[in-house]
């Protein structure tokens, strides 16, 4: 049992770190623009499928760079062509547009790449190794370390760069930031670009580890669960929520899936947020808003 727990903890940390990276993009976009992007899972799919397609023509590192550039361009384009004309429109309308956008992107990917599972060329070590008797997947470790380094890189960027500071200012108070000369439209464009990059990186890391198929888009909903768990307006909460979801899904979900209810692992994230929201409707680290009537 202890071996199961330790193995589940390590694998959960690996999966959770990738969930955290994807959730970071989700939370960043919401905090900067107040838009709940229901097409985020399709950005994960886009990154995985495009990177695999590019590896057939160029070396893997070049394919990754080109994929991230394409993701940034996609984010900028979506913001400029689709979201910017909706600026000031009812929030529900904007959310429905993101849902429709997700279906359009998914349909295009089905038409281009089909619905079968695709795998990257052997870039990371495969199989399972045992460390102190505990089974560990090297691919998961590499993916987790990469995700952790990227999370640190995002933090440094938002902490010290001029663009990052402007985005944090707009996220904290859009009216004040605009008064001080921050271009909200530019901030929104950067937010969409960075959210797309975070989603694409998550798709590549999960694809390297597990392969890419359309079930990978479901990870976007798990990232949403992580963001809601941590608090929609809390970026640290989203990161912690991603790691927490990964660990609980791997340990509790894996045990119940194998011994009690088959298929429970895939719904573990949503069971967790239901239980948490019953106690804390704003998430673990979200800000409670009080309105006077």
Q: What is the pLDDT of residues 67-96, one digit of tens each?
A: 999 999 999 999 999 988 887 788 888 889
pLDDT tens figures, 234-246: 778 888 888 888 8
CA separation for the pair 19, 35 (Å, rounded):
19
pLDDT on residue 293: 46
| C-alpha neighbours within 13 Å on the C-beta side of residue 275 | 7
Helices (H) and strands (E) in the chain, counts: 12, 2
Strand partners, 136: 129
Fold for the domain defined by 2-279: ABC transporter involved in vitamin B12 uptake, BtuC (1.10.3470)
Domain boundaries, given as residue ranges, for the chain = 2-279
Please state whether beta strands 129-131 and 134-136 pair in parallel, antiparallel, or not at all (unpaired): antiparallel
- Count CA atoms closer than 13 A to 268's CA, side-chain side: 23
240 vs 227: CA distance, rounded Å: 9
Along the chain (293 residues), what's the average pLDDT of each consecutive run of 10 residues? Answer: 70 84 86 85 90 90 93 93 84 88 88 80 69 68 81 84 82 78 85 91 86 80 84 80 85 71 74 82 67 49
Q: What is the pTM of this model?
A: 0.86
pLDDT score for 65: 94
């Amino acid at each position: 049992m202890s071996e199961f727990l330790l193995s589940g903890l390590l694998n959960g940390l690996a999966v959770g770190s990738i969930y955290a990276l994807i959730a970071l993009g989700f939370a960043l976009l919401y905090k900067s623009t107040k838009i709940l992007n229901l097409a985020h899972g399709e950005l994960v799919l886009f990154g995985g499928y495009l990177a695999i397609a590019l590896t057939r023509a160029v070396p893997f590192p070049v394919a990754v760079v080109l994929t991230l550039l394409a993701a940034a361009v996609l984010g900028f384009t979506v913001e400029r062509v689709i979201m910017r004309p909706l600026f000031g429109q009812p929030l529900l309308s904007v959310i429905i547009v993101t849902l429709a956008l997700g279906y359009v992107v998914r349909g295009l990917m089905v038409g281009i790449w089909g619905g079968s599972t695709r795998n990257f060329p052997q870039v990371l070590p495969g199989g399972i190794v045992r460390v102190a008797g505990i089974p560990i997947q090297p691919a998961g470790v590499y993916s987790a370390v990469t995700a952790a380094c990227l999370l640190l890189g995002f933090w440094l960027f938002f902490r010290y760069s001029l663009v990052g500071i402007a985005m944090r200012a707009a996220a904290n108070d859009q009216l004040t930031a605009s008064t001080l000369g921050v271009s909200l439209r530019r901030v929104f464009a950067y937010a969409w670009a960075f959210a797309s990059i975070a989603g694409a990186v998550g798709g590549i890391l999960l694809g390297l580890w597990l392969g890419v198929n359309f079930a990978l888009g479901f990870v976007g909903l798990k990232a949403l669960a992580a963001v809601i768990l941590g608090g929609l307006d809390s970026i640290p909460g989203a990161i912690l929520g991603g790691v927490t979801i990964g660990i609980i899904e791997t340990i509790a979900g894996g045990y119940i899936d194998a011994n009690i209810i088959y298929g429970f692992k895939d719904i573990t994230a949503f069971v967790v947020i239901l239980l948490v929201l019953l106690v804390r409707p704003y998430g673990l680290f979200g800000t409670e808003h009080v309105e006077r009537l």
